[in-house]
Amino acid sequence: MENLPTELIETILEFVDDTESLKSCSLTGSLLRGPSQRILLQTVAIGGDSDSKNHFLNMLSFFETSPQVLRAIRVVSFITPSPGLDIDPLQSEYLGILIAGFPNLRHLAISGAGRQDGDVGWDTLAPGIRTSLEDTISHGIQEALHISTMVRIPIKILVKALSCTKSVSFIEISVHNPDAPETQIHSEVPQLENLVLSNSAGVADVLRRPDVRPFISNVRRLWIGLELELAHVVDYTAPKLDEVFFVSTDPVDESHLGHALPFPQFPNLRFAGMRLFLGDYERLWIVDAMRAILASPIIESILIDVSGVDLETLLPTLDSLADILGSPNIPLVRWLLYVDHEEDGGLGLLKEFGAAVERVLPKAHKAKRVIVDRAESHNDGLFWPSGKVIMAMRLPEGE
């Protein structure tokens, strides 16, 4: 085995999907240690609960004594530490240096979910960590940047992400001073291809600005909350969209996107999806949405995720779509229902709704153009309708 090139050993080890086995390989000898460590450390999670303090300190010590492994890191998930983690200033500064020192970083996720004592403001992060995160984003994250559950994001961070990153995800964030003058961050050719946007006050206003809007001109995949203030993002990106996923945020709120009709045209749309609670507005919205989606000349499939919706709500919604989905020539339509095996009647819901589809849409059902399927979990909506994973949101846990 000593004669095998390192590249071949790494290729073999990449087929090992068991973390414990990879850890064992990293302890067997120098031949396997380097390749297995590089695979194990492609994704790291930093921060989190107070219980992780020992893990956090051990990680800092490991990176300090083995700086060569920093080149292996591709994905970093940073969760703002809870107050109980008690990071002292020196540890904060060193962590900041580490974050800025990952030379091959491709994906960065920043979340305020680690704090349970109120909103996490960007300005409340430890100075060393905040500066390093800003420097890292300013130098450009090549593949994906995800920021969630955080307030007062500087506009320069948002604009830099939009201008230089392929995939950007903003979930439950707000922007500090969205009307501030632009900071001369420009890109000749917009890099952004995938945009995820939901529950983010101020971001919609920033995207209206003429100096920022061009950055979303080449978006091909859009994952967007059903919020009225985001309607202009759908309108602007619709002509070039290859995939769109609409996600219900508050189906009873009057600021729901259902008030933003009529829908734009989607001339290049191939895949569409929606995750709905089917509140009053959504039962009206889905009819117009389906008409607009089906008007695309190249649409291939539609995913309707109604996980958690009861049969009494599903049946009238299905009836309202009878004329639209009745043809045997429609694209593939996949209804996704969540079934809890611990609750009685779960599988019965699938059977009853499947029978309703056969009754209401007999031609489409016979042609196998409408499928009723089971969602493995409520998180299925984090996938694009084509089945691709939204990497900016679905980062591995890290070890």
Per residue in 198-249, pLDDT tens?
888 678 888 888 888 888 989 999 999 888 788 889 999 999 999 999 988 7
More confident residue, 23 or 380: 23
Query: Between the CA of residue 399 and those of 51, 55, 307, 341, 384, what are the distances in Å?
Result: 15, 10, 31, 30, 26
Sequence ranges of the domains in the chain: 1-40, 247-399
| Helix, strand or coil, per DSSP, at residue 247 | strand
Least confident range from 103-112, 354-363, 372-381: namely 372-381
Is residue 82 over pLDDT 60?
no
Hey, how many other C-beta atoms are within 10 angstroms of the C-beta on 257?
Answer: 24
What mean pLDDT, rounded, does the chain reach?
77
**Location of structure tokens 């900016």:** 392
Task: Please state, in angstroms and rounded to a whole number, the distance separating the CA atoms of residues 295 and 281.
Answer: 22
Structure-token pair, residue 32: 């396997």
Please give the structure tokens belonging to residue 335: 């209804």
Read off the pLDDT band of 367 (50, 70, 90).
Answer: very high
List beta partners, residue 194. 167, 221
Q: Where are the alpha helices (DSSP H) in the chain?
A: 6-13, 19-26, 30-40, 53-65, 89-100, 127-138, 155-164, 203-208, 231-237, 280-294, 311-320, 322-325, 346-360, 362-366
> What does the alpha-carbon distance between residue 278 and residue 208 come to, in Å, rounded to a whole number?
29
Task: Give residue 399's pLDDT band: very low, low, confident or very high (50, 70, 90).
Answer: very low
As a whole-number percent, the residues of the chain with pLDDT over 90 amount to: 22
pTM of the model: 0.83
120: pLDDT confidence band, cut at 50, 70 and 90? confident
Identify the CATH class of 1-40: mainly alpha
For residues 286 and 85, which has the higher predicted lDDT (pLDDT)?
286
Question: Do residues 120 and 112 touch, judged by C-beta distance below 8 A?
Answer: yes
Contacts of 262 (CB under 8 A, 6+ apart): 288, 292
**First-residue to last-residue Cα distance in the chain:** 28
Q: What is the C-alpha to C-alpha distance for residues 141 and 99, in angstroms, rounded to an integer?
A: 12
**Separation between Cα atoms, residue 145 and residue 138, nearest integer Å:** 12
Looking at residue 397, its pLDDT comes to: 42
Contact by Cβ (8 Å): 328, 361: no
